[in-house]
Structures are given as structure tokens and as C-alpha cells.
Structure 1
Amino acid sequence: MKKIGKTYIFELPPLIIGSAGVAGKKEGEGPLGDDFDMVFEDTTMGQDSFELAESAMLHDAIIRALESANVSPKDVDFVMTGDLLDQCTGSCFALKDLEMPFIGMYGACSTMALTLCNSAMLVSAGANICVAGASSHFASSERQFRYPLEYGGQRPPTAQWTVTGAGCAVVQNQRNIDPENLQNAVKISAVHIGTITDLGIKDANNMGAAMAPAAARTIADFLHDTQTKPEDYDLILTGDLGLTGSKLLFELLQEDSEIDIETQHKDCGTMIFNLAEQDVNSGGSGCGCSASVFCSHIMKNIKNGTLKKVLFVATGALMSPTSTKQGQSIPGIAHAVLLEK
């Protein structure tokens, strides 16, 4: 790796050789429904709790990603996944029977980019195959961070809907790749671990405002480090600022850095739902939002050549039930991954 500013450029880029994105019923009814590798009509997944249902969904995404890469669990050096539940229990129970070396990671809704960044760096450092993933479930997240579903609280327009979904990507060292996998591989050209940014937002129903400053900082830093412009990319993908956070992102980049990304920008939180028809207020959120969108819809469009150069910037609101009850602000984080066909 070569470090420029805060960005790491890979001289021999790690390759994503397989991926899978799965989702729940509501997500399957949205604009991207046909691109998910699996849509589960029963979001309890036949389990005794919503938390176990989330684990079952992540387990399914991991197995599908490994199958798409023609990789066995015994061939995996490290698996890195995360979720929104206390102590990453969603990931722990998803992986406990798969016999793979496990690293749990928490980056809130930025977790998919965080696990991808670390997978790429471990592969660059000598590992052969790493698995990166993330998950969330509407019901398990709601009762941890907000209210029991039975409460029926009203949501303000800035609120976002936690996605029931999971995504997983298999990253391999380019030196060891099977030639049959090379044609459909996607290279990770660079990664950027974000810096915590806190402008004092305390409203848990406006996470887009909490995360937008971190997204603006990471995007501006990445473009500066790589000496590139927004028009150099087919897509600058955030996840998941929602409608409110995306508008704030544009304003912050224009005011602070004179950068205009509106033409190239899309957000996983506004892509996964039909905002006008699905009653999700400002859009989707949760670890599973960017994970399911990236590992299905985006990866398929890179592989088929529709997208050739994508800057994936997943965003996270680093709050907890404890910090919220104590009146603390919501720090934001955003990690970036550069992907090319």
C-alpha cells in the first residue's frame, strides 16, 4: 500500500470475487427488489426473535457470497462483519457455526465500507481470502434504539427506516486468484478510513444531519488525496444519508470545499425504497442498507460494465442507547472504498 494523505492506494489491488445482498419483504417491494439475491417474505426467518432472524439473514448472505466466489469457509482467512446490536451479537450468532476466524466490527451504518477497507488491507498485507459483511433488521434495531413496535410512535420527516437486509463480499489476493474468477472480479483500488466528525447534532430522528458532515469530510479528503474531481467517477455512492442528509452533504461540500457532486451522487437510503409510496420518511438506514444495495445492485452494475469507477462512502451515526439517554451528541463517521472494473 502507498499512503497519500489519509488514503491508501493499492499497488496490487485486492479483488472482490463474489458478493450477495439479501433483503426483507418491504425492501423487496422497492425499486431494487429484482437485484437482491434473495428477498425474504417472512422477516422472522422462522426464528424465535428478531435478533436471531437478523443473524439468519446475515448467515444466508455469507453463504451466497461464498458460493458466488466458489470459496469454501475453510479457505477464508478472516471474516469481518458487524451490525447495530449490542456487542455485535447479530454477527456472532450468524457465524458461530461456520468455523471461520471472526473479527467483529462496529461502524454503525458505515460498517459495510469499514469491513471492506479492513479486508482489503489484510489481503494487501498477505492474507489470501477475507469476507466482509454487515446486517440490520428493522424490528431488532427499533426496540434497541427507539421504542417497542407496539408503541406506534410518530416519525418526523427527517427520520429514516432501518433496512431489514444483509450484504457480504469476498475479497481475494490478486496473486492467488483463479483465472476463471478474474473476468467478473472487481478491484479495490484504494481505501480511506474516516475521521470522527461531530457538529453537535443530538436528534436521533435526524441521523442524516449527524452523518452528512463526516461524509463531506471523507469525500473532500479523498478527492484531495487522489487529485481527482467528481466527474472522474461514474458514481459517488453514500450510504445512508437519506433525503435530508444528502441535501446537507451537497451544501457542506459546496460551502467548505467548492465541490459539486450532485450529478454523480446517489444514496443507498434513497435508492432502496420508493420514498413517495413506501412511508419511510427520509429513506432507509441501518448497516444492512448500504450492505445489501452495494453487494447486489452496485456490484452487478460494475460487473456488467454499466459502472466502471465507483467511490463507495458508507456513513455511520456513532450513537448508543446509553449515550443518547445521557444527552450526548451523535458523532458521525464515513469510510470510503474506490472500486473499478
Structure 2
Amino acid sequence: MLLLLCCTGGTAAFFLTGLGGDDSEKADSLAGLGCGPIRPVEVTGKLPRFPEYGDAQIRNAAIIIKVGQDMGVPSRGWVIALATAMQESGLRNLANRGVPASLALQHEGVGADHDSLGLFQQRPGWGTVSERLNPAYTARKFYEKLVKVGSWQRRPLTVVAQRVQISAYPDAYAKHEELASRIVDALSGGASRTVEINGKALCDAAEGGEIAASGWTAPIPGGVGSGFRTASRPRHNGVDIGAAKGTEIRAAAAGRVLVSTCDPDYRGRQDCNVDGFPGKKGCGWFVDLLHAGGYITRYCHMVVRPSVDVGQTVAAGEVIGKVGSSGNSSGPHLHFEVHLRNDRNPSGAVNPVPFMRQRGAPLRTAE
């Protein structure tokens, strides 16, 4: 097999913030979890533990997921619903100070948002006080509105949740997406790694624009040729995926464009509109995207100027450019990187192969 060459050492490195992140996040946070067959969620008995939440809160999460299962909502909807409730109530069944004493035992705390009640902090138009303090009822009402949002499985979680909730802080939902995916996996057998294709939930199959319930997809179909930081290439901070010139490159998850440019050569010339060669500097035409959770993905060696601009918000699976061979490259391929903690430096890079596999969007390897 030809080992495709690329080098991103010449790409300007700096620290960026935005969309939120967690320094404790680990690339292997989902390691060891199986995927399928997806099991029905149990809301009684012993449930998995999460340091972020108590038992009552995880039981509420189980109710939200079970309602989605019973309604036949695809598992991407469970992740969105869970992340929304995490933001709105911290997974607690919140009442307000005006709740009658006869309903006092139905709630787990008092919120501060006027007449909003329950896990999703729904207002009177969503139902009676008693109904809005019923976790199963509120979850059902959320899903009923969710499935009416156009293209909801492809759109950013924040956009979909906002269309349902009409929140004053719509961007706040994004920071819960990663943990919501982990909870869905733990309670249902890896459901966040599935993707809906022709009405069936398939595990580890998100590519070609199909989006896993985790919100991720493989940037291109194709096999990994040159791996992450191998013995022969210890500074190779990503993987090379072979593909024909002109193959469409898709955003691996919803996010915001941080960089969309031509990486200049050693002489400062921006000559990315011609094929590069081994030993030439950098990425050629490339894009960096910032995703919820503080993740950054990088896409190098595009054939022409990327189709997205700095500051633009892109959906998961949206085409951002085309495969080429600009920069340090011996032939058409995509050099793909994943970074943690909003850090574009090499110190922030992790191996994309296990990272993407854990999110149901595996990169093909010879393994």
C-alpha cells in the first residue's frame, strides 16, 4: 500500500476558545461500550453511575430515552432531548413556588424561571401543572415538536433544541451533547453510535453524509493509509485517507469554521492551486472546524479553495471542500486531524481512528 505523505508542521498553531469545552474530556471516553442490538431502556432497578448526576437524575434520563424508544423516534432524538433537559433543569423535575402543596411530592427542586416546570421547563401552553411535572409526559411533548423540525437529524443540536424550546440561551445546549451521548450509550447499549439508513438503525456506519446519533460522520469514505504518529512519522498528527481527486469532503460534525485558507510554502507563497509534492510545506488548501465540546477537526490538501468561509456555521455532513493534493502530498488524499480542548497545536491532537469509531463514524482501517 502506498503511504500518502503530508505534513502539517507548517500550519500556524494557536489557542482558540469558543462553543465550550472540558479539559477533563478524554478521547477514549466511550471506550469499551458495545453497539447493538440496542436494548430497551429500564427505568427501574440499578442504573449506571455518572459523577455529574445522582441516581434520580439518571432515572429521569432513562425515562426520556424510553419515551423516545416507545415513540419510535430515532436515537439522535434521544441525544437532543437529553442534552436539552440537562441544560433546562439539570435532569431534575423542577417546580416553582406556586405549585400547589398537593403536587409537592412530584418535583425534585424549585426552579427560578417563573411559570416553567419539569425536566424541560415547559410553560403553561405545554400542559397543566400536573402534566408538566410528569417526566414521561414532558418528554413526549418534546419529541412531538422535535420530529416536526425540518431535517432535524442533520442540523446542529443547538438549532433543533432552540426550535423546540425557544430558549433565551440557545447556544447553551451544545455543551451537553457529548455527555448526553455517553448516557444514551450506557443506558441503551451504544445507541449514539447508530445511524438511521433506510429505516434501520445501523451501528458504526455514518459516512457519505449519514449522521450518527452522536452527531458525527466520517469526512469521506475511504481507507486510512498513513496512521497517526507512527514510528516512521512521529510528527504526523492525523491520518491520511485515500480518495480520488474531487471527492467531496464533509464536516465531521456541526461546527464553526475557524480557518479556511491556503497554507503558504516555505517562501511564503500561496500556490495551493497546483499539486504539491513530498517535502513541500504544510496542508495546502485546508479547513479547521470548531465543534461542541471543544473539539477541532482539520481537513488538508484540498484541490481548490474550500467552499466555506471563516465564521460560517456548518451542519454535520455538509460539504466543505474537495479532495486534492495541494501542499506536502504525494497524491490525492485527505489528511484528517482531531484535536481536544480547543487546542490547534500538536499537543491537542489525538488519534482520529478510535475517536471516530467511538462516535459511530469509523474511518476504515486494515485492522
TM-score by length of 1: 0.28
Structure scoring higher RCO (CA < 8 A, sep ≥ 6) equals 1
More helix by share: 1
More strand by share: 1
Larger Rg, first or second structure (1 or 2): 2
